[in-house]
Structure 1
C-alpha cells in the first residue's frame, strides 16, 4: 500500500480568503486559480500495519504540532473512505521556494491526497479527490484538478469541490515568478478574515469577479483574465491589511515589481499583469511572445526569477520515482 504523486502549485486568479468551517476548510466564497509548472511537490506515502505511529516528513523536516495535524486531517479522511486503520509513512519534497507566496501548501496537499488515495486503492475522480485535499488547504483542491480550476463554496463535499475550466490560454501563458523571500502566515490571516471591515466589501463584488474570470477564460481573453487577477490581488491585500493583526505582506521589492509591470504595460504596450497571494512574492503574467522582455525587466531589479507555464492535474507517478 505505497504510492507516489506530484502536483503543481497554484497562482490565485480570484483568491479565496477566510473559511466559515475551519475543520473542513470550507471557504466563504468561490475561487479560481492556475497551476504553475514545472514547479511541483512530490509525495510518497505508505500504509504499514507494522508502524506504531504516523510519520510526516516535509523537505527533510519531521513535522509535529499544527503542521502534522493538517496532514493528519487528509490522511484520516482517506482512512475513513477506504475503511483502513494502518499508520502511514509520509515524505514530501518541493522543488521551488516555500512559505513566500508561491502556493506550496496547495501542491503539497494535492500531491498528498492523490498519493494517499492511490495507496489506499481508492478509485476516485480528480474532483472527488479535490474534496480530500481541501481538508489540508482549500487551494489544494484546485491543485488536484490542475491548470485553470474553479473551487466552488458549499457546506459539503458534493458542492465544495474543484472543477477544471477549459481555456485556450493554457498554451500561451507564461508566469515570471519574482521571488521575494519574506515569510508569511496564511493560516492566521484566514482565521481573522471576517473581522476586517473590508471583508463585506470584498464579498459584495467577489461573485462578479468569479463570473468575469470564468467568461474571460472560456473566451481566451488574456487581458481581462489577468487584469481581474491584478485587481483581486489589491482587494485581497486591502482585506488582510485591515484585519485585527494588520498583516502587511508586501515588501519594497514587491512594489518595485508592481511599478515595473505597469511601466511595461503603459509605455511599451506589453501584455503583462502582476498578481500576489498572501505573500511578498509576485506572479508576473505575460505571454510567450513577451516573456523574455518581462523577465529581463524583473531581473534588472535584482530579484531572482523563475519562468513557469501552466501545469496539469495532480498525478500518480511510477514507483521508480518514490522518495523511499
Structure 2
C-alpha cells in the first residue's frame, strides 16, 4: 500500500524552490492513543478540523550536494525541533527522494501557543508536508496530491494526517468507514449534519507551558498497557456510534461519546506504567462548571481534551452568545492569564 506514494515520475530539479502553506490543528473526538510500526495507529480516530489555530510554514529549498536543513520559529532558530524534522526527512526520502538533493530553510509560525496541548505538531507537519508535495508537483509537472501530503504528514506526526482537508476526518482502518486507512486521513464531511457544519471550539488555555510528558512517550506506554486491548475495541465501537450522531445531528449522543473519549484518553495516561497526569486542578474545575451549566440551561455544550491540560469547549454556533457569557463569568478565571482562543470548524490546508 505504501508503494502507491513512491515517486514514479522523474523530477526535473531546479536550483531553488519555494512553497508557503498553512495548515490547521484538529481536535479528535474519538482519540488515537497508541501506535505500532512507523507511525501507524493502534485504533482509528475521528476529528474536527479547526480553522484559526494553524501553522504557517514557508519552505525554501536550494539545490546542494548535501541534504541539510535549518528551522526558524517566529524568525528565531529552533534547534530543539531538529531531531523531529531529521526523523521526518529520513522517513519520507523513500517516497520523495529528490529531497536529498536540496538543503532546506524552514520558516514557521503558529497562531497559538506551541506544545500546550493544541496539537501544534499536527498543524506544523501538515503544513510542512503540503510544502513538500507542492514542490514535488512543481518538479514533476503533476497536480498537488493531498492524499500523499496526508501520508507524508503522518510520518512526521500521526494526527497531522487529519489536518489536510475536510471538516471531519477519519484516520485508521475502520470497518464502518469506506476507504479508511492507517496510512492517511479520509474526509468524511459529506455526512456531517448541518448543525455541526459551523460548530464552535473555544480552547481554554489552562496551561500554555511545555507538557511534562510528550505525546510520543504517552503513545509508547500503551504497549503492554493492562487496558489497551479493551480500549482499542472501545474506540472502534465509539467511532461507529459517533458517526451516526454526526450524521443525524444527535447532540446528546455526540456529547456522550465526546466527553467519554476525553476522559478515557486521560485515564489511559493515569493507568500506564509509569503513570502520569496532564490534567490540572483548573481543568477539572472547568469540566465541573460545564456540566453544571449544561444541566441548568440545557445548552448543548460539551468538553474534550487533547494530550494536555487545556479544555476544548464544543457547541453549536447558535449557542455562542450563551457560552461566551459562561466563559467570561465563570471559566476565564481558570485559564492562564484568563487566556482562551475562539475557533470553529475549518476545511484544512491551503497555499499561502
- Please give the alpha-carbon distance, in whole angstroms, between the structure 2 residues aligned to 1:219 and 1:186: 33
1:47-126 → structure 2 map (5 Å cutoff) = 47-50=61-64, 53-64=68-79, 67-76=81-90, 79-84=93-98, 85=100, 86-121=102-137, 123-126=143-146
Secondary structure of the 1:205 match is helix
Residue equivalent to 2:279:
250
Residue equivalent to 2:210:
183
Q: Pick from 247, 251, 254: which aligns with 1:218?
A: 247
Residue equivalent to 1:312:
347
Shift of 1:213: 1.7
> Does the 8 A contact of 1:195 with 1:244 survive in 2?
no
Shift of 1:128: 2.5
Query: Is residue 5 of structure 1 aligned with residue 21 of structure 2?
Result: yes
Q: TM-score, normalised by structure 1?
A: 0.89
Which deviates more from structure 2 when the two are superposed, residues 180-189 or residues 26-35? 180-189
Secondary structure of the 2:117 match is coil
Residue equivalent to 1:129:
149
Secondary structure of the 1:8 match is strand
> Does the 8 A contact of 2:167 with 2:347 survive in 1?
yes
Residue equivalent to 2:10:
none
Q: TM-score, normalised by structure 2?
A: 0.82
- Please give the alpha-carbon distance, in whole angstroms, between the structure 2 residues aligned to 1:148 and 1:269: 26
Query: Is residue 142 of structure 1 aligned with residue 158 of structure 2?
Result: no
After superposition, give the CA deviation of every residue in 1:16-39 in whole Å (9 maximum; x if it has no partner).
Answer: 001112xx2111111111122222
1:171-210 → structure 2 map (5 Å cutoff) = 171-181=197-207, 182-184=209-211, 185-210=214-239
Residue equivalent to 2:260:
231
> Does the 8 A contact of 2:305 with 2:311 survive in 1?
yes
- Please give the alpha-carbon distance, in whole angstroms, between the structure 2 residues aligned to 1:145 and 1:172: 16
Residue equivalent to 2:177:
none
Where do 5+ consecutive residues of structure 1 fail to align?
318-324
Higher Cα radius of gyration: 2
Once superposed, what is the RMSD of the aligned Cα atoms? 2.1
Query: Is residue 31 of structure 1 aligned with residue 51 of structure 2?
Result: no
- Please give the alpha-carbon distance, in whole angstroms, between the structure 2 residues aligned to 1:190 and 1:159: 16
Residue equivalent to 1:15:
31
Count of residue pairs the alignment pairs up = 312
